């Protein structure tokens, strides 16, 4: 399936270049071309993941390559959904390169064959994996929207209309999209944590084992819980929410990659 994976990467890269051209020129047809290229890459990507699933009968998250691939697929799915829901076309400037970067990284890591394990067939494991990856993908979009918000706010506050002023949407649309991303991501991340604890009980006989991934996952969840709470009670909006979304996603990246490489634990098996 290497050729299918390579095709997905190529289409993601072409989509990235086209979205950049759209940002620079603001030609209406370019965003449609970019989206079509992205969806084509997504379909190639989905075919690759589907093949791995059919081959093993399990969600393919048994090594670093498969885990990264699923992460990239989740980003693509969430971006496509958000594109049609919020009509935030320019978000592709962030989402397409992110999907391409994840898959380029995945393509470079070893793809050693792995033996399927019965515990991966657990209902709780499946729900845990799906929830976590969807949640993290939604929070990745929140980070992208947060970056766009800060760029647009800085442009508005400057005395002269900067490069981004006419190229980015209103602050209200960015804030609404960011909140929607965080809400979806937080709910799915919460579900992922709960089902992860239940799965840990069935697999290792205890809900909590002080695994580094567990600790950092909870720490990351607390960042978004604080943001969500402040949004509902104090009315945190705009720049504060955008900055917290970026900080939260940085914590996710460290939890996803840094913890697995720097610390040992149950989750280390998914990065080998």
| Confidence band, pLDDT 50/70/90 cuts, at residue 272 | very low
Supply φ then ψ for residue 93, to 5 degrees.
Answer: -65, -25
Tell me the CA distances in angstroms from 117 to 59, 241, 265, one per residue in order: 11, 41, 17
d(CA 172, CA 46): 33
Cα gap 245→82, rounded to integer Å:
17
| pTM for this model (two decimals) | 0.88
Coil vs helix vs strand at 192: helix
Q: Where are the domains of the chain?
A: 1-116, 120-272
**Which pLDDT band, with edges at 50, 70 and 90, does 120 fall under?**
low
Angstrom distance (rounded) from CA 269 to CA 266: 7
Give SS3 for 254: helix
Question: For the segment 39-75, what is each residue's pLDDT rounded down to a tens digit?
Answer: 999 999 999 999 988 887 888 888 888 899 999 999 9
Structure tokens at 49: 């993941």
Q: What distance in Å separates the CA atoms of residue 186 and residue 136, rounded to the nearest whole number?
A: 9
pLDDT, one tens digit per residue, over 222-240 is 988 988 888 878 777 888 8
């Amino acid at each position: 399936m290497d050729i299918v994976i390579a095709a997905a990467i190529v289409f993601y890269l072409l989509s990235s270049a086209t979205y950049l051209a759209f940002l620079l020129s603001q030609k209406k047809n370019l965003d449609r071309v970019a989206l079509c290229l992205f969806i084509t890459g997504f379909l190639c990507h989905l075919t690759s993941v589907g093949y791995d699933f059919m081959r093993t009968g399990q969600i393919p998250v048994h090594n670093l390559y498969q885990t990264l691939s699923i992460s990239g697929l989740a980003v693509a799915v969430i971006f496509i959904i958000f594109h049609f829901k919020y009509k935030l076309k320019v978000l592709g400037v962030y989402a397409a390169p992110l999907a391409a970067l994840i898959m380029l990284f995945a393509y470079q890591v070893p793809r050693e064959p792995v033996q399927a394990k019965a515990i991966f067939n657990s209902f709780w494991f499946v729900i845990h994996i799906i929830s976590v990856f969807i949640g993290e993908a939604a929070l990745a979009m929140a980070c992208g929207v947060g970056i766009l918000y800060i760029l647009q706010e800085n442009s508005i506050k400057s005395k002269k209309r900067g490069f981004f002023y006419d190229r980015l949407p209103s602050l209200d649309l960015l804030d609404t999209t960011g909140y929607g991303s965080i809400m979806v991501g937080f709910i799915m991340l919460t579900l992922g944590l709960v089902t992860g604890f239940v799965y840990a009980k069935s697999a290792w006989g205890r809900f909590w084992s002080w695994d580094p991934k567990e600790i950092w996952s909870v720490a990351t969840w607390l960042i978004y819980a604080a943001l969500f709470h402040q949004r509902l009670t104090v009315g945190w909006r705009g720049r504060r929410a955008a900055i917290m979304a970026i900080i939260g996603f940085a914590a996710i990246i460290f939890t996803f990659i840094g913890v697995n490489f720097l610390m040992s634990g149950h989750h280390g098996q998914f990065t080998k």
